[in-house]
Amino acid sequence: MFYLVQHMANCFGFQIFSRRLLIPCVFAGVSRKTQELYALVFASRYLDIFTSYVSFYNTVMKLIFLGSSFSIVWYMRHHKLVRRSYDKDHDTFRHFFIVLPCLILALLIHEKFTFIEVMWAFSLYLEAVAILPQLVLLQRTRNIDNLTGQYVFLLGAYRALYILNWVYRYFTEPHYVHWITWISGLIQTLLYADFFYYYFQSWKNNVKLELPA
């Protein structure tokens, strides 16, 4: 149940982002850097898509995540109107500087020293911090429309639901311990904490979402 709800949250996030793509002239406030990091996350995580079959549902979800993330990056880089409205002056977070530390950490701390497992650990570490460019951009511009706010919220909810899944499986499955996944997921959720607070405040008071400068 948790697994399904997690993926639905992420899919709804992609759907909301796709609706945003239909209005390319108002694309300020969306970080292309975060989208590139997520594309790298899914590419490194799902390297086993053609070598390890789990279920039809699992394979379809992997393809959806890969296709959606790379399509978004392509659209933001090559669509004329999107490129024109993309706020590159504020989206200046040097995102590739966090890729190398995540890779080094994956080489040092992993469950098994194989290429697939190291890339899996790398994807977890990178996903934990992939939202940083987006949060920094929103904090700099304070330009948060409804679609962008909902998209970021669903990304955070996707990871928060994973924590509920881990708690449930810890108490129902013997020997269920995955420290790498747990710690990286907790760090990622904590990065959203500030955004969640202001998101719920804006929803409760029915006002426009704004982050402090």
Residue 38: predicted pLDDT: 92
Residue 36: predicted pLDDT: 93
Residue 213: predicted pLDDT: 66
Residue 119: predicted pLDDT: 95
Cα separation, 31 vs 122, in Å, equals 21
pLDDT in tens, the chain (213 residues): 545 555 555 555 555 555 555 555 556 678 889 989 999 999 999 998 878 887 887 888 888 889 888 988 888 888 777 777 777 888 888 888 899 999 999 999 998 899 999 999 999 999 999 999 988 888 887 767 777 777 788 888 877 777 888 888 888 888 888 888 888 888 888 888 888 888 888 888 887 777 776
Cα separation, 168 vs 172, in Å, equals 6
Helix (H, G, I), strand (E, B) or coil at 131: coil
Which spans in the chain are helix H? Answer: 2-21, 32-45, 56-78, 80-85, 99-108, 115-129, 132-141, 146-172, 179-205
Cα separation, 208 vs 86, in Å, equals 21
Residue 17: predicted pLDDT: 56
Q: Are the C-beta atoms of residues 165 and 6 closer than 8 Å to each other?
A: yes
Residue 27: predicted pLDDT: 60
Q: Are the C-beta atoms of residues 108 and 162 closer than 8 Å to each other?
A: no
- 24 DSSP assignment: G
Q: Are the C-beta atoms of residues 130 and 37 closer than 8 Å to each other?
A: yes
